[in-house]
Every structure is written in C-alpha cells, then in structure tokens.
Amino acid sequence: MKVAIITGASSGMGQEFLFQLLEEKSQLEEIWLIARRTDRLMDIKKQVTGVKIKCISLDLTKEEELETFQKQLREERPEVKYLVNAAGCGFIGEFREVPYEKNQTMVRLNCEALMAVTYCVLPYMQAGGGIYQFASSAAFLPQPGFAIYAATKSFVLSFSRALNQELKKKKIHVLAICPGPVKTEFFDIATTTGEIKFYKKLFMADPKKVVRKAIKDGKRKKQVSVYSVSMKLFLLISKCVPHAFLMKFVK
Ligand SMILES: NC(=O)c1ccc[n+]([C@@H]2O[C@H](COP(=O)([O-])OP(=O)(O)OC[C@H]3O[C@@H](n4cnc5c(N)ncnc54)[C@H](OP(=O)(O)O)[C@@H]3O)[C@@H](O)[C@H]2O)c1
C-alpha cells in the first residue's frame, strides 16, 4: 500500500502538503496525519475523498508516544512513498528570557522528533520515495533573539543535506525546505514569548506557494527549497557577508 506520512498535519504547511499531494495524483492509497489536536485532524479527514486517511494523535516530544508510532509501523508495515516532517515550533525571545521548557520543546520537536520519525520510517521506504524536511531560512544565519529556533533549523538543514547524499544509492530523495516567514499559526505560538521583528512581517509568504515550490523542487531533486526572491537573496548574503556583521543587523 502506497502511503504518505505527514507530521504537523493539523495546520499550516503540513495541512497544505496533504491537499497538494492529493492534487498531484501521486497514486497514494493512504495518508497518515500526525499531530496532537485530534479534532483538527478529524475535520481535515472529512474534507478528503478518494484516499484513506488515518488520523494519529501524538505528541512527538514524548518518548512513549514516539514508541506508539514505531509500534504502529511495525504492525502495519506500510510502503511509504512520502514522509513530510512539518511538525515544528518556535518561541521568540532571548535565550534566558524564554522559559527553559519552551527552549527544550523546540529542540525536542524540531530536532529529536524529526530525527526519530525519519529513523523509524526509513526502513519502510523504497526507491523513488521522497522525504520533505521543514527547516527554515533561520538555518542560514544564527539569530540573536530567536537563537534556539535558528539552531534547531540549522540542524535540520545540515542533517537533511547529508542524508540526501547517503540515500542516493537507495534512490530516496531528501529535500530541506527553507522558507522565510510564512502566514500560519506558527507566529501565534512564537509570539507568546516575544514580539516578531517588524521586517519579518514585510516578507510573510503564502503557505500554499511555499508548499507548491517545495513539491516542484522535490520533483527536480533539488537538495534545498527556498521560496521567494527575498529569501534567495538572504541565502546569498548569508554566504557572502561575515555572520558577525549580519547578526548585528538582525539584532
Ligand atoms: N510559519 C513560518 O514562518 C515558518 C517558516 C519557516 C519554517 N517553518 C517551519 O515549517 C514547519 C511547519 O510550520 P507551520 O508554519 O505550518 O506552523 P503551524 O501551522 O504552527 O504547524 C505546526 C504543526 O506542528 C504540530 N505540532 C506542534 N507541536 C507538536 C507536537 N508536540 N507533537 C506533534 N505535532 C506537533 C501542530 O499540530 P498540533 O498543535 O495539533 O500538535 C501543527 O500541525 C515547522 O517545522 C516550522 O518550524 C515555519
């Protein structure tokens, strides 16, 4: 059975990935949607016809819930065509001003959970499969005032690029998606601890367009997907200008 697994499917870009994969007519027979909010997953399920949807309510920061997911994989042995790791969160603020447990949640969800899900799902993927990892343009440069989030996304970008090389022999493609600010629920959560920088509001992207570009870049076997001219320019600047100088500007 050809299956897609999407984490962070209850909102934002994870949810958008579901609808765009359905448009792609990618011969999927079943899609597993993972997030904590069961009601949201069930509402999304009601909007889908023609493909079996499995809603899996999990808190991916909890070891025992990750084990439940692993057990489900072992029992069902799905043939996974796509894995989309979209679950993620950020909390704005200087390191010591953000409560420790929120810093920990970013590391657990953005790094550990993404790594764990990828590790568990990979044995069920075959040649032609694709893994979409949500990093961020925050991965391009350390961000004072959003330090842990940017560090977690550097982890995702570095891990995904290396994994893409490792999996070439198995013909499984890994894409790191690195958008700038995107209009989703992300900032409702991120701004519970601090204010969004004014310039980020100027570059807010449409989640539909970010996901469309990611799917296109995945088909082209790119290793990194960067949506919008401004973010491509940011990537270029972050490669050419000393980070010490850029960080003063970001601050
Ligand atoms: N929006 C942006 O500006 C932006 C920019 C660059 C990169 N990104 C990255 O893109 C990805 C998608 O973000 P988004 O913008 O679509 O944000 P979003 O709308 O807030 O979606 C985040 C998703 O993660 C799930 N999630 C959060 N905590 C979880 C947990 N403990 N266990 C399981 N699922 C959990 C949420 O579902 P539940 O709450 O139901 O669990 C939700 O479905 C994230 O990795 C984010 O870091 C976002």
What's the CATH number where 13 sits? 3.40.50.720
For residue 90, which atom of ligand 1 is closest to its CA? 47
In the chain, the number of structural domains is 1
Cα of 240 to ligand 1 centre, how many Å? 30
Higher pLDDT among residues 190 and 248, named by residue: 190
For residue 73, pLDDT beyond 90: yes
Q: How many CA atoms lie within 13 A of 180 on its CB side?
A: 18
pLDDT band at 251 (very low <50, low <70, confident <90, very high): low
Cα of 11 to ligand 1 centre, how many Å? 7
The domain in which residue 46 lies consists of 2-250
Cα of 90 to ligand 1 centre, how many Å? 8
Which phi and psi angles does 242 have, rounded to 5°?
-55, 135
Which phi and psi angles does 36 have, rounded to 5°?
-85, -35
Query: pLDDT over 70 for what percent of the chain?
Result: 99
Distance set, CA 185 to CA 13, 189, 190, 230 (Å): 10, 7, 9, 22
Which phi and psi angles does 105 have, rounded to 5°?
-60, -40
Q: What is the pLDDT of residue 27?
A: 84
Host H or E run for residue 214: helix 207-219
Separation of alpha carbons 95 and 50, rounded Å: 46
For the entire predicted model, the pTM comes to: 0.97
Q: Are 179 and 206 in contact (CB under 8 A)?
A: no
For residue 183, which atom of ligand 1 is closest to its CA? 1
Average pLDDT of span 147-175: 98
Nearest C-alpha to atom 34 of ligand 1 is from which residue? 35
The rounded mean pLDDT for the chain is: 96
Q: What tokens were used for 179?
A: 């958008």
Which phi and psi angles does 194 have, rounded to 5°?
-175, 175
